[in-house]
Chain A
């Protein structure tokens, strides 16, 4: 698995994002998040609903809803400061240099436009190419995503396609302009497992062929095994754990990552004795972002907590090379 060279495409430093509610009390959704995305890598972002993963994606493109505010921090895309970018600069970032695939594939396509026209529309909006060059590029992208039946699918309408094919069209749109970075937010959530696998391999192919770095956001840890180079685990807007996928998924350190992975049903390779037994769960309720205490956000639900976890926020420590964890268990 080529993690590409180590030069970052995107650098996020100490990002804080909050939503203002009715009473104008900000609730912090992203707190002190720092990470980088290396060129050509697949970075998995793992988090449950409410962990801030979609807010994180929206912040990177400055597409937050009007009550969402980036309070501080910096986002640098290939040396360019995203947070200071003028509207015109932003326009050339969005779609052309950083592409986004959203959660709901069924509503993302125009129902009465042919596939080829929809992909062409993206090229026309961002690339100033001659008509001939544009057509060649369009052919190239469509052929990459649909190696067989390229022509039939190009001239189809979305309703004539399966869920997996529609997702491929969205990927075609996303990579049409050759962006260095693609953000995919739960891109396989509504697909069945066989189609899910198929789309995951499409992402891998696209990464290899076009050298695009991918931020793959999901709540399902099992999708990241074998796909992501590195995995970032979000809990209540903070990075709990970040490191090579191998370490985070198979040698997890943070108590949250460990219980989260423990929730998966153990069927494969397990004995029949464990069938119909209770699965391990994370005790307690999901955190209320309006009422957070000083300490670690996972502390109330943590089985390994210490006394001081309640009063101090853990800092990120790195017990192993490249593997970072925010937990007092691994250093204070």
Chain B
């Protein structure tokens, strides 16, 4: 999918985010988590954001999801700058940009049943419509590959991959336009990773979703994304076509990531064998 001719769904314009480290006696120092980041994502496409830990990937995710406010810069979404919206207006934007975290075990309420987890966002957003919503809840579970009989189970009874399916179903309940997947596959076994990847690809085409896929895993990024952006020290240092980026990385940070990706050894040799 070429992004050049399409109006981007979301456009980030020189966004910076500073955190002040407070100390008791001194004024502290300032941490530049994001330093003039600009990017755009075309509708129905996937942008993978890769980089070492501490490079600012998750801070960017929080800013896009309206959970952190950028210190400066603009985030254009749906015709307006969501970086400077008032709190009550942000509440209306948040459902459209959903976030999925690395560890589903700690991001899902252990006292809730699967059904409650999936339908809670609808309750919170005052979109509960009785029977219709109940059916919607079961449909969501089924959509991510969880059967109706699992609806009454609690989080602890699910495997890691199933928990991540639940988190995805919950995010989808509000019919978002964008899913931000922040290391959503990292905690899973490689067989569960493959299954969730396939689910994500399927959901993207059936719900016309746009993904921001944040990961350490360059091989997975290259498989799932239309484009890869590399972050380093709060900046985007390189972005482009996955294959090109892997074959001829230009920036130092990209080269480091490519060199550290162990997948290259196994799969390239297995293909050769």
Contact = CB atoms under 8 A, between A and B. Distances in A.
B52 A194 contact: yes
A286 B159 contact: yes
Interface string B246-273: 1000000000110111111111111111
A266 B160 contact: no
Contacts of B243: 267, 272, 275
A193 B217 contact: yes
Contacts of B192: 48
Interface size class of A (residues with CB under 8 A): 35 or more
Contact of B246 (A49, A196, A221, A267): A267
A111 interface: no
Given A194-B52, A260-B190, A267 B223 contact: yes
Q: Dominant SS at the B interface? A: helix
A279 B197 contact: yes
Q: Dominant SS at the A interface? A: loop
Contacts of A193: 216-218, 257, 260-262
B53 A250 contact: no
Contacts of A225: 262, 265-266, 269
B107 interface: no
Contacts, number: 135
A220 B260 contact: no
B104 to A, nearest CB: 13
A172 B189 CA distance: 28
Candidate in A221, A264, A270 with the most chain B CB atoms within 10 angstroms? A264
A263 interface: yes
B195 interface: yes
A196 B195 CA distance: 24
A268 B218 CA distance: 9
Interface in A253-290: 259-261, 263-270, 272, 274-282, 286
Contacts of B220: 265, 267
A141 to B, nearest CB: 26
A267 B216 contact: no
Contact of A276 (B224, B257, B264): B224
A49 B190 CA distance: 10
Given A192-B53, A222-B263, A268-B264, A281 B273 contact: no
Given A259-B191, A264-B219, 13 more contacts: A48-B192, A49-B160, A193-B216, A194-B52, A195-B52, A225-B262, A250-B269, A251-B273, A264-B194, A267-B219, A267-B267, A279-B194, A281-B191
Interface of B: 46, 52-53, 159-160, 189-195, 197-198, 201, 216-220, 222-224, 226, 242-243, 246, 256-257, 259-273
16 contacts: A48-B190, A48-B191, A191-B53, A197-B260, A222-B266, A251-B273, A261-B266, A264-B263, A264-B266, A265-B263, A267-B219, A268-B246, A268-B267, A269-B268, A278-B201, A280-B194
